[in-house]
Amino acid sequence: MTSIPKPSVRHPGLPRNALGLTTRDYEGGMSTLCAGCGHDSITAAIIQAVWELDLPPHRAAKLSGIGCSSKTTAYFMRQSHGFNAVHGRMPAVASGVHAANRELVCIGVSGDGDSLSIGLGQLCHAIRRNINLLYVLENNGVYGLTKGQFSASADVGSKSKRGEPNVQPPIDPVLLAITLGATFVARGFSGDKKQLVPILKAGLAHRGFALVDVISPCVTFNDHEASTKSYRFTRGHRHELAPVDFIPLTHEIAAATVPGDPVSVTMHDGSVVRFRSVGEDYDPTDRDAAYAHIRRLQAQGEVVTGLLYIDERAPDMHGVNGTIEEPLTRVPYASLCPGNAALQKLQEEYR
Amino acid sequence: MQPTDVTNPRYYHKVVDCQWGCPAHTNVPEYIRLIAQGRYTESYLLNRASNVFPGILGRTCDRPCEPACRRTRVDGKPVAICRLKRVAADLRDDVSDFLPKVPERKNGKRIALVGAGPASLTVANDLMPLGYECVVFEKLDRPGGLMRTNIPAFRLPASVLDEEVAMIIDMGVDLRLATPVTSMRALLAEDYDAVFVGSGAPKGKELDVPGRWDAKRIHIGIEWLESVHFEHVTSIGERVLIIGVGNTAMDCCRSSRRLGGRDIKVMARRSRKYFKASPWELDDALEEGVEIVENHAPRRFVVENGRLVGMEFERLAWSEKDGKQRSEVIDTVTIPCDDVILAIGQENAFPWIERDIGIAFDDAGMPVVDRVTMQCSRPGVFFGGDAAWGPENIIWAVEHGHQAAISIHNYCQGLPITDRPSYGMNLVSAKVGMHAWRYSNDYSPAPRAAMTHVELTQRFQKLNVEVELGFTAEQTAHEVERCLNCDIQTHFTAPLCIECDACVDVCPVNCLTITTDGPEEDLRTRLSAPALNRTQEIYVSAALPQTQRVMVKDEDVCLHCGLCAERCPTAAWDMREFTVLIPYAGKPASYELRTANPIPSGLSSQLAVRSSQPL
Q: Report pLDDT for B604.
A: 40
Statement to judge: residues B596 and B461 lie in one domain: yes
β-strand pairing of A184-189 with A209-215: parallel
pLDDT tens, residue by residue, B483-539: 999 999 999 999 999 999 999 999 999 999 999 999 999 999 999 999 999 999 999
Listed residue (A231, A225, A229) closest to A150, CA to CA: A229
Contact (CB<8Å) B500/A190: yes
Statement to judge: residues B244 and B165 lie in one domain: no
Among B321, B345, B369, which residue terminates a domain? B345
Does the beta carbon of B503 lie under 8 angstroms from any beta carbon of chain A? Answer: no
DSSP B7-41: TSHHHHHHHSHHHHHSTT---HHHHHHHHHTT-HH
Contact (CB<8Å) B73/A231: no
At a CB cut-off of 8 Å and minimum separation 6, what does B526 contact? B513, B515, B518
CA distance B562 to B442: 8
Homologous superfamily of A23-321: Thiamin diphosphate (ThDP)-binding fold, Pyr/PP domains (3.40.50.970)
Contact (CB<8Å) A231/B546: yes
pLDDT tier for residue B614 given thresholds of 50, 70 and 90: very low
Query: Closest chain A residue to B435 measured between Cα atoms?
Result: A3
Range of the domain at B378: 99-202+348-413
Statement to judge: residues B323 and B447 lie in one domain: no
A4 interaction partners in chain B (CB closer than 8 Å): 441-442, 561, 563
Q: Report pLDDT for B607.
A: 40
Average pLDDT of B260-268? Answer: 95
Q: Is residue B56 part of a domain?
A: no
Query: Closest chain B residue to A47 measured between Cα atoms?
Result: B505
Nearest to A35 among B530, B559, B567 (CB): B567
Q: Report pLDDT for A283.
A: 81
Average pLDDT of B68-77? Answer: 95
Average pLDDT of B234-255? Answer: 94
CB A233 within 8 A of CB A227: yes
Statement to judge: residues B403 and B428 lie in one domain: no
Query: Closest chain A residue to B554 measured between Cα atoms?
Result: A11
Number of structural domains chain B divides into: 3
Statement to judge: residues B225 and B193 lie in one domain: no
Among B345, B363, B392, which residue terminates a domain? B345
Average pLDDT of B276-297? Answer: 93
Nearest to A7 among B499, B546, B561 (CB): B561
Q: Report pLDDT for B299.
A: 94
Statement to judge: residues B431 and B510 lie in one domain: yes
Percent with pLDDT over 70 in chain B? 96
Q: Report pLDDT for A39.
A: 97
Q: Is residue B149 part of a domain?
A: yes
Contact (CB<8Å) A4/B563: yes
Whether residue B289 is predicted with pLDDT greater than 60 in this model: the reply is yes
Q: Report pLDDT for B435.
A: 81
At A60 the three-state DSSP class reads strand
ipTM above 0.95, yes or no: no
Statement to judge: residues B286 and B332 lie in one domain: yes
CB B377 within 8 A of CB B358: yes
Statement to judge: residues B381 and B315 lie in one domain: no
B546 interaction partners in chain A (CB closer than 8 Å): 231-232, 235
Statement to judge: residues B156 and B298 lie in one domain: no
Statement to judge: residues B209 and B287 lie in one domain: yes
Query: Closest chain B residue to A6 measured between Cα atoms?
Result: B508
Q: How far is CA B27 from CA A50, A60, B242, B580, B584, in A?
A: 44, 50, 37, 8, 15
Q: Is residue B301 part of a domain?
A: yes
pLDDT tier for residue B603 given thresholds of 50, 70 and 90: very low
DSSP B215-263: -S-EEEHHHHHHHHHTTS-----SEEEEE--SHHHHHHHHHHHHTT-SE
Q: Quick one: angle between helices B221-229 and B247-258, nearest 10?
A: 40
pLDDT tier for residue B450 given thresholds of 50, 70 and 90: very high
Does the beta carbon of B532 lie under 8 angstroms from any beta carbon of chain A? Answer: yes
Helix, strand, coil shares of chain B as percentages rounded to 5? 30, 20, 45
Contact (CB<8Å) A8/B508: yes
Q: H/E element holding B318?
A: strand B307-321
CA angle (A264 as vertex; A260, A266 as ends), nearest 5: 150
Statement to judge: residues B394 and B451 lie in one domain: no
Q: Which residues of chain A have pLDDT under 70?
A: 249-262, 276-281
A9 interaction partners in chain B (CB closer than 8 Å): 74-75, 443, 445, 508-509, 559
Nearest to A9 among B500, B508, B568 (CB): B508
Q: Is residue B29 part of a domain?
A: no
The CB-side HSE value for B134 (13 A sphere, CA atoms) comes to: 32
Phi, psi of B28 (to 5 degrees): -65, -55
pLDDT tens, residue by residue, B309-361: 999 999 999 988 888 888 899 999 999 999 999 999 988 889 999 999 999 99
Question: Which residues of chain A from 281 to 320 reach within 8 Å of chain B, CB to CB?
Answer: none
Nearest to A44 among B498, B505, B529 (CB): B505
Nearest to B559 among A2, A9, A44 (CB): A9
pLDDT tier for residue B463 given thresholds of 50, 70 and 90: confident
Among B75, B437, B498, B553, the strongest candidate for a mutation testing the A interface, having the largest count of A CBs within 10 A, is: B498
Contact (CB<8Å) B505/A2: no
Contact (CB<8Å) A9/B547: no
Q: Is residue B305 part of a domain?
A: yes
Contact (CB<8Å) B504/A10: no
CA distance B350 to B2: 50
Question: Which residues of chain A from 181 to 200 reach within 8 Å of chain B, CB to CB?
Answer: 190-191, 193
At a CB cut-off of 8 Å and minimum separation 6, what does A235 contact? A189, A191, B499, B546, B547
B569 interaction partners in chain A (CB closer than 8 Å): 34-36, 219, 223
Query: Closest chain A residue to B498 measured between Cα atoms?
Result: A231
Among B294, B318, B345, which residue terminates a domain? B345
Q: Report pLDDT for A218.
A: 96
Nearest to B546 among A15, A43, A232 (CB): A232
pLDDT tens, residue by residue, B168-193: 999 999 999 999 999 999 999 999 99
β-strand pairing of A142-143 with A133-139: unpaired
CA distance A274 to A261: 10
Does the beta carbon of A37 lie under 8 angstroms from any beta carbon of chain B? Answer: yes
- Mean pLDDT, chain B, whole residue set: 92
Task: Please provide the size of chain B in residues.
Answer: 615
Statement to judge: residues B361 and B280 lie in one domain: no
pLDDT tier for residue B76 given thresholds of 50, 70 and 90: very high
pLDDT tens, residue by residue, B548-582: 999 999 999 999 999 999 999 999 999 999 999 99
Q: Sketch the domain layout of chain A as residue ranges.
A: 23-321
Indicate the DSSP class of residue A219: T
Contact (CB<8Å) A3/B435: yes
Nearest to A40 among B441, B502, B557 (CB): B502
Contact (CB<8Å) A4/B568: no
For A41-55, B199-213, B594-608, which range has the lowest pLDDT when averaged over its residues?
A: B594-608
- B487 to chain A, minimum CA–CA distance in Å? 19
Does the beta carbon of B514 lie under 8 angstroms from any beta carbon of chain A? Answer: no
Q: Is residue B524 part of a domain?
A: yes
